[in-house]
Amino acid sequence: MARRKVDFLIIGSGIAGLSYALKVADFGKVCIITKGKAEETNTRLAQGGIAAVMYSPDSYEKHIADTLIAGDGLCNEKVVRFTIKESTERIKDLVAWGAEFDKTTTGKYDLAKEGGHSEFRVIHHKDNTGKEIESALLDRVIAHPNIEIVENAFVIDLLTQHHLGVIVNKKTPDVNCFGAYIFNEVSNEIETILAKTTLMATGGAGNVYNTTTNPPIATGDGIAMVHRAKGMIENMEFIQFHPTSLYNPSEKPSYLISEAVRGFGGILKNQKGEEFMQKYDRRKSLAPRDIVARAIDNEMKISGDEFVYLDCRHLEKNDLINHFPNIYAKCFSLGIDISKDMIPVVPAAHYVCGGIKVDEHARTSIHHLYASGECSSTGLHGANRLASNSLLEALVFSHRASIDAINAIKTTDYCNEIPDWDAEGMVLNEEMILITQTIKELQSIMSSYVGIVRSNLRLKRAMDRLQIIHKETEELYDKSLLNFKICELRNLIAVAYLIIKMATQRKESRGLHFSINYPKNK
Ligand code: FAD
Ligand code: SIN
């Protein structure tokens, strides 16, 4: 069995993993593990851009206030303050790494607006900001001699003293991370990677629902791995549904119609062509996402319709196409000319606000393990993320983690006693249907019972159903030779469990968690 030793192990090749890699690479050997091709990430799909304070009349205080309001009382204000104050510097990092953002004729950044923002502050590259960032970072990473990227390799589990035969539970005070077991699809081997420090940067978990804007890689693996390793996870009940994914039921993932389109003047309407957001919030179509998604959900339930519309017909055509060329082309390819036709839209699972609990240096509750990006819970988002704050969060926390990790490797050794993976007694599972059907069942349970609107009864029903699926899957996993799909299913089940459990424990409606048993929000 192959064994590698590295100073910095990074799990994930999105903005969190790649920006961290570039910061630590001059100080030691870096290995990035990614389960698909390196660019297959949520990052690459980001449309709207990055919220950052650049010029007056915007100010750090305004951005801080907007973030706190969106977070509905659960943000950690100290974290909000430093994240936003560091935004300007982190944008400079991206520019230095080669990312290009749109500018106006005066040479200043062309700033967009999204829901919950009181100012224009979203820096963007047309409507495909994520692609621009991912490509710029990857080019730099590939060129760096200290960084190795291993593609098509699935991180199965973190290595802790559990693998030395020590009993580890949630109360064990000093759980240590020594690296990870990875399933390398190319060599068809399970490798042991011993690392002085590990960064979890595995992104989101949108695929726990049947309709999501997230790509197939978003199966919550990092959150599930840390949960199994007895690390702390929090705030999983706060799942953000993006209000406006394109209604095109046969398409997976759902194509996003950026909130920046509403910031540009797009208006939500019902199928009768009537505006409705004024009934729900004075900010109308640009209210924070939890409010807009719930309003759309309510309108669809009242009317029985399967979608509402986003109307851009009143906007200047050339400006619209210039700002949103990809959205225009995508809709056009489906016969929708957004300058003449309204766009059918529907909410879709989009972002996990909670995740692996970290401190101000991105340190998890497990020693030598950091987490950054969507898999982490930093305290920035509280009960509802302000639009375009997530790319920023990843940059800020990966930067902070890098400073800590560069110091940590000086006093950390490898744990050579970790044994190789034991595959004895496992056989090839020839019934993939058992896995694919269970994934569909899981997604259906979560969408039906743990979606935008919840109740105690729905949550109980979801947990009861999940327990059956969990038992069957663990039995199958214990005797199967590994494949990516069974690992993902197992992780999705763990994530679903955490969402349902934390939703059940929250005896109120707040932010993205809305229960009909506690109808008054807060
Ligand atoms: P990702 O970019 O998702 O990267 C995760 C990486 O982990 C991938 O490389 C994956 O292969 C790897 N991985 C996962 N599990 C394993 C495993 N078991 N083994 C090995 N590798 C693994 N946010 C904004 O701020 N602004 C926006 O405009 C914006 N638009 C968005 C539009 C869309 C359509 C979507 C889906 C999201 C958007 N977001 C936006 C959210 C934002 O893109 C993500 O939160 C962010 O990119 C997450 O970055 P990340 O580095 O944490 O994870
Ligand atoms: C969008 O462009 O609407 C997505 C922004 C985000 O999720 O932050």
pLDDT per position as a tens digit, 195-205: 999 999 999 99
Mean pLDDT of 386-390: 97
Listed by start position, the domains of the chain span 3-8+21-237+353-411, 245-348, 432-481+483-515
Decide: 240 in ligand 2 pocket, CB within 6 A.
no
Q: What is the pTM of this model?
A: 0.98
Lowest mean pLDDT among 59-63, 80-84, 187-191, 297-301: 187-191
363 pLDDT higher than 90 = yes
Decide: 382 in ligand 2 pocket, CB within 6 A.
no
Instruction: Indicate which ligand has the atom closest to the C-alpha of 389.
Output: 1
Which top CATH class is 432-481+483-515?
mainly alpha
Task: State the amino acid at position 247 in one-letter form.
Answer: Y
CB within 8 Å of 464: residues ≥ 6 apart: none
522 pLDDT higher than 60 = no
Decide: 215 in ligand 1 pocket, CB within 6 A.
no
Task: Write down the pLDDT at residue 424.
Answer: 73
Task: Write down the pLDDT at residue 145.
Answer: 98
How many angstroms separate the first and last alpha carbons of the chain? 54
Q: What is the dihedral of CA 327, 331, 337, 343, to 10 degrees?
A: -90
pLDDT more than 70, % of the chain? 98
State how far the alpha carbon of 15 is from the alpha carbons of 18, 25, 126, 291, 481, in Å. 5, 15, 18, 28, 32
Closest C-alpha to 93, from 402, 377, 380, 510: 402
Average pLDDT taken over every residue of the chain: 96
Write out pLDDT tens, residues 433-484.
999 999 999 999 999 999 999 999 999 999 999 999 999 999 999 888 888 9
Which token pair is 508?
């109120």
332 pLDDT higher than 60 = yes
Task: Write down the pLDDT at residue 427.
Answer: 66
Cβ–Cβ < 8 Å for 33, 223: no
Could you tell me the pLDDT band of residue 188, with boundaries at 50, 70 and 90? confident
* Residues marked as catalytic: 289
Closest C-alpha to 395, from 117, 114, 129, 76: 129
Q: How many CA atoms lie within 13 A of 245 on its CB side?
A: 24
521 pLDDT higher than 70 = no
Fold that domain 3-8+21-237+353-411 belongs to in CATH: FAD/NAD(P)-binding domain (3.50.50)
Instruction: Say yes or no: domain 245-348 is CATH 3.90.700.10.
Output: yes
Cβ–Cβ < 8 Å for 202, 11: yes
Distance 373 CA to ligand 2 centre (A): 15
Matching residue, tokens 């977070």? 71
Distance 14 CA to ligand 1 centre (A): 6
Cβ–Cβ < 8 Å for 150, 4: no
423 pLDDT higher than 80 = no
Produce one character per residue of 48-66: b if its CB has 16 or more CB atoms within 10 Å, e if not. bbbbbbeeeebeeebbbeb
Residue 288 or 450, more confident: 450
